[in-house]
Structure 1
């Protein structure tokens, strides 16, 4: 089992993934579509993800594009949550 990644790093990876997918997590929390506990669980799931290196590369490419991506990178532990948002 791989050790959990840095809390700060994975917080920002989740934020970057949300932005790349056109999701506004702050608005989702405000509207009650995402509760604070689920947000914390998203960061925790990201910390244990097996595709972190590929995710960083995917995000770097996505951030160069104008339009949001349709779905998260394959293997993203939070793909289903992002799809619902």
Structure 2
């Protein structure tokens, strides 16, 4: 059984990752693009990652990026949220 990382640390890490790749999780939640269950699952995915220190270092060195680093377990969700936000801006 894998031990999950600290929930608050990973919530912050996920928020930073979203910001870096252009996927605002708070805005997505407020707009109804994600619900509590989806957000919780994304945090749990992050908590289960065996390499959060690599992610943290990547975020420290990266202001903006088109995609999360290779291996990010939330990459697909972040891409979808980013693309939905871009589409909404184009309306």
TM-score range, shorter chain: 0.7 to 0.9
Q: Deviations over 1:9-47 (max 9, x none)?
A: 111100110111111111111111111110011001100
TM-score of the superposition, structure 1-length normalised? 0.88
Structure 1 residue runs of 4+, over 4 Å off? none
In 1, distance between residues paired with 2:56 and 2:42?
16
Give yes or no for contact 1:51–1:75 (8 Å, CA) kept in 2.
no
Q: How many residues align?
A: 81
Give yes or no for contact 1:45–1:77 (8 Å, CA) kept in 2.
yes
Shift of 1:50: 2.0
Aligned to 1:78: 74
SS of the equivalent of 1:57 reads helix
Task: Describe how 1:4-83 pairs up with structure 2 within 5 A.
Answer: 4-62=4-62, 65=63, 68-83=64-79
Give yes or no for contact 1:14–1:46 (8 Å, CA) kept in 2.
yes
Shift of 1:2: 3.7
| Rg larger in structure | 2
Which consecutive residues of structure 2, in runs of 5 or more, have no partner in the other structure?
82-91
Shift of 1:51: 2.2
